[in-house]
Amino acid sequence: MDDLNAVLRERLQKAEQMETDGVPLYPNGFSAPDPIDGIISGFGMKSATELEAAPHAFVVAGRIMALRSFGRSIFMHIQDPGGRLQIYVQQNQVSKECFSVVKRLDVGDIIRASGSLFRTKTDELTLLARELTLVTKSLRPLPEKYHGLKDIEIRLRQRYVDLIVHDSVREVFRKRAKIIQAIRDFLVERDFLEVETPMMQTIPGGATAKPFKTFHNALGIDLYLRIAPELYLKRLLVGGFERVFELNRNFRNEGISTQHNPEFTMLEFYQAYSTYEDLMQLTEELFAFVGAAVNGGELQIEYQGQIIDLSPPWRRYRLLDSLVDIGGIPRTALEDPAQTVEVARSLGVGAERFEGHGKLLTKIFDQVVEPQLIQPTFITHYPLEVSPLSRKNEAEPELTDRFELFIAGREMANGFSELNDPRDQRERFLAQLEAKQAGDEEAHEMDDDYIRALEYGMPPAAGEGIGIDRVVMLFTDCGSIRDVIPFPHQRPERKS
RNA sequence: GGGCCGUUAACUCAGUCGGUAGAGUAUCUGCCUUUUAAGCAGAGAGUCGCGCGUUCGAGUCGCGCACGGCCCA
């Protein structure tokens, strides 16, 4: 508190005077109060005469959000996790000591009050206090009551204030918890086992992305924060678990934007004896299940002004077909590698030396098709080149049994039939190493132990990753990933 | 990484042509026993993001930096 301004100084002085007068500022040992939402749902419909005929006593606690003083009586609104309730204190209804405390309360203080319910002249359900105690003194003024806190930088750096002031922000994080719980319930119901695999890995694998690097002192080795749990989850399939999932953080050393946070939450699950086609259906069921849990089963949801219909079945396109039908690019141009380079260049997405035909197709897709996929759409048949861990398509071995799911113009999920032939997997890793040497920083590393695991035999399986933050954005109508992560990363504040 | 925009009291925002910094909320003092963006009267509160420059004089003009936002890569 070295940056004390006048308001803070005055509050601190006033608080210390209260303490001197025998009013503890930070007492503890209270019993749990009655939740406000329970009081409102139980008595919100009762009339003034009903409340008068049968008085109900309650103990409530919460933060003072508004305070209106009339000299010998005071109104305040307190807020607890479930809602707001008005408290009315009259001088002749409480002890002298109590009223002297009440007179010195500030907006932001946490208090506890006991009394009975009544209705005011304006018919608002209100607790007439018989007793009121200060629970926690607040020294900093809350943001302006009418406009709230608008400065996005402060809202994120001091999320605690954002949460105090904005019901809608608290609601997003409640909904986030419900969504994640629903996903766990869905998987557990289907006999998936939740597991935890290393966040720190010696070989960062399972995705194409740049990792964060750290160092383990005792072992004297570099470790990487995982970019994906994939290869460990599949080792568990080798070990004999047939259905596993992990729902936790991944870390990717990339830029920060409204769509990317360096650490983000990912669900990955693997199911033996099934294919990517089974998983597309499972994904449709999963979204319907989540919709039921958080949206009352409504599958038409409004997102950023658009209506998105999650009712299955969802549209399916082969990648190449989507480039032709949705992207409007001639099929002949896409089937000829030389012409594809020209298409990529004309779209300004470049064409690096290490990028082959398949990679360019996906870059063109990202540019011209992805933003247009507003309604849920599965894109299938990804090129082998960009799918080093996916099973080859038996009919067309240049393609893989893989899909990605797009909703609202964003990738939401990526799934495929798993490559379980160790000989093929080794070749794929070798191809990745070549790309790496040619300059592709995101190319996959060789993982000899993973090959060894496959050599013991992994049952045929399909696996999928779903970006949880994006799912939460969809169901909470949030446009930025920062809106659904309580403490998103930012450059550190600089003390001037 | 590039372009554009922003940064003024604790919060939300004004600030004209370059001429001593403004409002509302919040805070403090006084009045007020059914208010709810309570009201009335008064008071205090500022490193105008940071630095350099132009100028008699810079919140305002120029350059650089920091942080943030939007768009592009």
Q: Which two structure tokens, joined as six digits, stand for A285?
A: 């069921």
Is A105 found in the same domain as A52? yes
ipTM for this prediction: 0.91
Which CATH number does the domain housing residue A102 bear?
Answer: 2.40.50.140
Whether residues A314 and A449 share a domain: the answer is yes
Of A142, A175, A203, the last residue of a domain is A142
Nearest protein residue to nucleotide B50, judged by CA and C1' positions: A496
- CA dist., res. A385 & res. A58, Å (int): 66
Please indicate, yes or no, if residue A230 is contained in any of the structural domains.
yes
Same domain, A323 and A438: yes
- Note whether residue A336 is domain-resident: no
Angle, CA of A14, A15 and A16, to the nearest 5°? 95
Instruction: Residue A44: give the domain boundaries.
Output: 6-142
C-alpha A261, offset from chain centre: 10
State which nucleotides on strand B lie below 7 Å from a protein beta carbon: 1, 9-13, 24-28, 31-39, 44-47, 49-50, 66-73
CA distances (Å), origin A320, targets A313, A379, A464: 21, 9, 21
Cβ(A227)–Cβ(A245) below 8 Å: no
Checking each nucleotide's C1' against the CA of A156, the nearest proves to be B68
- On whether residue A373 sits in a domain, the answer given is yes
Q: Is residue A356 part of a domain?
A: no
Same domain? For A270 and A215 the reply is yes
In degrees and rounded to multiples of 5, residue A201 shows phi and psi of: -125, 150
Distance of CA A449 to the CA centre of its chain: 33
Measure CA A99 to chain center.
44
Cα-Cα-Cα-Cα torsion A381, A384, A385, A390, nearest 10 degrees, comes to 100
In a domain, A152, yes or no: no
**Strand A193-194, strand A83-90: pairing:** unpaired
Q: Find the CATH number of the domain harbouring A197.
A: 3.30.930.10
Residue A442 is predicted with a pLDDT of: 84
Element of type H or E holding A359: helix A357-368
Average pLDDT per block of 10 residues along chain A, 496 residues long: 66 91 94 96 92 90 96 96 96 95 95 96 95 94 88 91 93 96 98 98 91 94 96 98 97 88 95 98 97 92 93 96 95 93 86 86 93 96 96 97 96 97 97 89 92 98 97 94 92 64
Spatial distance from the CA of A168 to the C1' of B31 (Å): 38
Spanning CA of A154 to C1' of B48, the rounded length in angstroms is 19
CB-CB contact of A15 with A25 (8 Å): yes
pLDDT of residue A1: 36
CA quadruple A152, A156, A158, A163: dihedral sign? positive
| CA-to-C1' span, A496 to B57 (A) | 27
Classify residue A354: in a domain, yes or no.
no
| Residues A413 and A279 reside in one and the same domain | yes
Query: Residue A295 CA to nucleotide B4 C1', Å?
Result: 39
* A181 and A311 housed in the same domain: yes
| Beta-bridge partner residues of A128 | A88, A116
* Total tally of structural domains belonging to chain A: 2
Find the Å distance, CA of residue A389 to C1' of nucleotide B14. Answer: 59
Of all protein residues, which has its CA closest to the C1' atom of B28? Answer: A10
Choose one of A142, A157, A188: the last residue of a domain: A142
How far CA A454 is from CA of A201, A252, A447, in Å, comes to: 19, 26, 11
Nucleotide nearest to A121 (CA to C1'): B34
Name the nucleotide with the smallest C1'–CA separation from A126. B34
pLDDT at A347: 87
Q: Which residue is nearest to nucleotide B27 (CA to C1')?
A: A7
CA A72-A77-A81 angle, 5° bins: 150
**Residues A210 and A101 occupy one common structural domain:** no
Nucleotide nearest to A108 (CA to C1'): B26
* Shortest-distance nucleotide from A489 CA to C1': B68
Distance of C1' in B13 from CA in A74, Å: 30
- Looking at the structure, do residues A103 and A180 belong to the same domain, yes or no? no
Question: What is the spatial distance, in angstroms and rounded to an integer, between the CA atom of A496 and the C1' atom of B66?
Answer: 10
Residue nearest to nucleotide B32 (CA to C1'): A70
A102 & A24 share domain: yes
Nearest nt by C1' to A93 Cα:
B33
Residue A192: inside a domain: yes
> CA A155 – C1' B25 distance (Å)?
18
Q: Cα(A204)–Cα(A202) distance, rounded to whole angstroms?
A: 6
Return the nearest residue to B1, CA–C1'.
A255
Tell me the CA–C1' distance in angstroms for A112 and B30. 29
Which residue, among A417, A415, A406, has the nearest Cα to A471 in the 3D structure?
Answer: A406
Report the nucleotide nearest the CA of residue A92, measured to C1': B33
A70 CA from B31 C1′ (Å): 9
| Dist CA A146 CA A162 (whole Å) | 14
Instruction: Tell me which residue of A430, A414, A440, A445 sits closest to A356, measured CA to CA.
Output: A440
The predicted pLDDT at position A4 comes to 53
Residue at minimum CA to C1' distance from nucleotide B45:
A6
Q: How far: A312 CA to B9 C1' (Å)?
A: 55
Q: Could you identify the residue written with the tokens 């909904």?
A: A175
Instruction: Give the DSSP letter string of A200-269.
Output: EESS--SSSSPPPEEEETTTTEEEEE-S-SHHHHHHHHHHT-SEEEEEEEEE------SS--SEEEEEEE
Are residues A39 and A136 both part of a single domain?
A: yes
Q: Pairing relation of β-strands A315-318 and A377-380?
A: parallel
pLDDT at A491: 82
The pLDDT assigned to A102 comes to 95
pLDDT for residue A496: 41
Beta strands in A99-199 (DSSP E): 110-119, 125-136, 193-194
Q: Nearest-CA neighbor of A94 among A70, A73, A118?
A: A73
In a domain, A220, yes or no: yes
Q: In 3D, which of A268, A251, A248, A272 has the Cα closest to residue A260? A: A251
Same domain, A54 and A173: no
Q: Which nucleotide is nearest to A3 (CA to C1')?
A: B10
- In a shared domain, residues A293 and A233: yes
User: pLDDT at position A494, please?
Assistant: 61
